[in-house]
Amino acid sequence: MKGIVCLVMAFILQAGVFSGAALAQSASSGNAEPSFDAASREADSVFFRKMADDVLSSSAAYESLRDLCKNVGARLAGSPGMYKAEAWAEKALKAAGADKVWLQECMAPHWERGKAEEAWYTYADEKGKQQKVKLDVLALGNSVGTDAKGLTLPAILINDFSELEKRKDDVKGKMVVFNNIFNPKNLAVGQSYGESGSYRRRGPSEAAKYGAAAIMIRSVTASANDNHPHTGTTSYDSAYPKIPAAAVGLKDGDKLIGLLASGKPVSIYYRSDARMLPDTKANNVIGELTGSVFPEKYITVGGHLDSWDPAEGAHDDGTGCVHSIEVLRALKAMGYKPRHTIRVVLFANEENGLRGGNKYAAEAKAKNEEHLFALESDAGGFTPRSFGFTLDWKRLAAIRQWLPLFVPYGVYEFRNGGGGADIGPLNRQLGTPVAGLSPDGSRYFDLHHARNDVFENVNKRELDLGSLNMALLIYMIDKYGL
């Protein structure tokens, strides 16, 4: 009992001593990095609690996400939504209290879906009667379309790339239907996404290599309780013809694949207006809190501003954008003066080009900037579980001492390996240590790149816990270095 009273007293004393600006000052006094010891652990736990009180009771991130989803909506590079999103980002960063906000221009691919795609298949039923079944499909991002009449092609089911090799003489002039299963046995859903997604990325050129005329894939998703197709970028190998490519909703896809697997002759009609236009101007939108001790050393935190055209880009990656802006707002609200310059970067064109991430790293390199660390949120706005780091194991081992401070707020692991697509170029070109927020992934691929990725599917508290843990990590890295 006495011990508990002592602890409570110590807590109150610490809270008094380290409140608000005083705490900020203690964290940023002098150039030497403070060491993480018992006293600082205590002070940090008080800071964590105060930050949690602020973030969990604020509606800033959630309302900002509502604004982005409902008033901007879809924002693929080159679309009118992209320009509206850039204006939204500028305004949001200023409102969060950035010392400086600016645009960093880059060129980006400009792909358009055009009029909605059309697809159906036909086959003869048991009585020999022709049946025509509509397919819910989305052209893959960056894919070519068909002509205005569309294509009617005999379909062939190919289960995987090794079967394609074996049956390469059978696919000429056909619609290849890939049965790219989203493996439920992988514990990390990202692994299933990577495996199944390789058919979306490489499938068209692998099939075109043997003369296929078009392809369809199962949507890269685990969820079979709806029929929404999931788009996402494909990339053509210039050695082979570019052929039209689309993703099919799982309910439709399973029926079609079942029919093909039974050996019935099936023919598929597909029409798409998709086309690639000349590159367009796009911008990374950047806001910063200028460092009080090392203004020339940078910590980057970000998400990507663009999103696929059929939805609002709520989880992908509206949540990552508002997570990052909330880091800045929350540090400001705490009166915290960062030692290093903290840059919030809302990257352009992650989805179908990565030009924003490449531009940011190229400019950092050209200016010889020193980047201490970069953090990305691009895995949804669900309950945070861990951070995945790409940095040398000694430094990872050192920062794992901080982990007990995070556990009450939901992050229980600092994993080896992780980062984000947009900050990958910083890591590869400048050697910057990077990390990514890993929320629970169980539901992410139910709505990833599909029409149900909307604001209503984001939970406020889960969103806020993500922002909070990111702000806490940025605070710790700013204070102790890496």
Which active-site residues does the annotation give? 350
DSSP type of residue 143: -
Sole window of 50-58, 104-112, 375-383, 457-465 interacting with Zn ion (rule: CB under 5 A) = 375-383
- Position 453 contacts Zn ion (CB under 5 A): no
What are 96's two structure tokens? 């969060």
Sole window of 169-177, 313-321, 390-398, 433-441 interacting with Zn ion (rule: CB under 5 A) = 313-321
Residue whose structure tokens are 């009180």: 53
Rounded to the nearest angstrom, the gap between the alpha carbon of residue 437 and the centroid of all alpha carbons in its chain is 10
3-class SS of residue 387: strand
- Binding mask 271-290 toward Zn ion (x if CB under 5 A, else -) reads --------------------
Contacts of Zn ion in 235-264 (CB under 5 A) = none
Sole window of 17-25, 279-287, 311-319, 394-402 interacting with Zn ion (rule: CB under 5 A) = 311-319
Q: Residue 11 — φ and ψ, nearest 5°?
A: -60, -45
Sole window of 190-198, 376-384, 394-402, 456-464 interacting with Zn ion (rule: CB under 5 A) = 376-384
| 324 to 345, 436, 444: CA distances (angstroms) | 8, 12, 19
Q: Which of 317, 326, 422, 453 binds Zn ion (CB under 5 A)?
A: 317
Residues in the interface with Zn ion (CB under 5 A) total 3
Q: State the minimum distance, in angstroms, from the CB of residue 336 to Zn ion.
A: 28
Q: State the minimum distance, in angstroms, from the CB of residue 350 to Zn ion.
A: 6
Q: Which is nearer to Zn ion, 145 or 384 (CB)?
A: 384
Enumerate the β-bridge partners of residue 271: 118
| 230 to 28, 241, 453: CA distances (angstroms) | 46, 24, 10
429-460 core/surface letters (b: 16 or more CB in 10 A; e: else): eeebbbbbbbbbbebbbbbbbbbbbbbebbee
* DSSP string of 171-195, one letter each residue: -TTSEEEE-----TT-SSHHHHHHH
Q: Which is nearer to Zn ion, 304 or 359 (CB)?
A: 304
- Binding mask 69-98 toward Zn ion (x if CB under 5 A, else -) reads ------------------------------
Sole window of 117-125, 338-346, 374-382, 411-419 interacting with Zn ion (rule: CB under 5 A) = 374-382
Write the CB contacts of 57 (distance below 8 Å, at least 6 apart in sequence): none
314 exposure class (CB count in 10 Å sphere: 0-12, 13-18, 19+): buried
Q: State the minimum distance, in angstroms, from the CB of residue 115 to Zn ion.
A: 26
Q: State the minimum distance, in angstroms, from the CB of residue 351 to Zn ion.
A: 7
Helices of type H across 368-437: 393-399, 403-406, 424-430
- β 275-289/340-347 pair status: antiparallel
Enumerate the β-bridge partners of residue 137: 248
Cβ contact 384:139 at 8 Å = no
Would the CA dihedral through 180, 181, 185, 191 be positive or negative?
A: positive
Residue whose structure tokens are 């074996």: 166
Q: Which is nearer to Zn ion, 317 or 446 (CB)?
A: 317
Q: State the minimum distance, in angstroms, from the CB of residue 448 to Zn ion.
A: 8
Q: Which is nearer to Zn ion, 326 or 378 (CB)?
A: 378
Query: One-letter amino acid identity for 27?
Result: A
- Position 316 contacts Zn ion (CB under 5 A): yes
Q: State the minimum distance, in angstroms, from the CB of residue 316 to Zn ion.
A: 4
Q: State the minimum distance, in angstroms, from the CB of residue 98 to Zn ion.
A: 23
Q: Which is nearer to Zn ion, 333 or 434 (CB)?
A: 434
Cβ contact 357:350 at 8 Å = yes
Q: Which is nearer to Zn ion, 314 or 474 (CB)?
A: 314
Write the CB contacts of 26 (distance below 8 Å, at least 6 apart in sequence): 18, 43
Q: Which of 378, 446, 464, 478 binds Zn ion (CB under 5 A)?
A: 378
- Binding mask 324-363 toward Zn ion (x if CB under 5 A, else -) reads ----------------------------------------
Q: State the minimum distance, in angstroms, from the CB of residue 378 to Zn ion.
A: 4
Q: Which is nearer to Zn ion, 317 or 478 (CB)?
A: 317
Q: Residue 153 — φ and ψ, nearest 5°?
A: -135, 145
Q: Which is nearer to Zn ion, 309 or 316 (CB)?
A: 316
Q: Using CB under 5 A, list all residues that contact Zn ion.
A: 316-317, 378
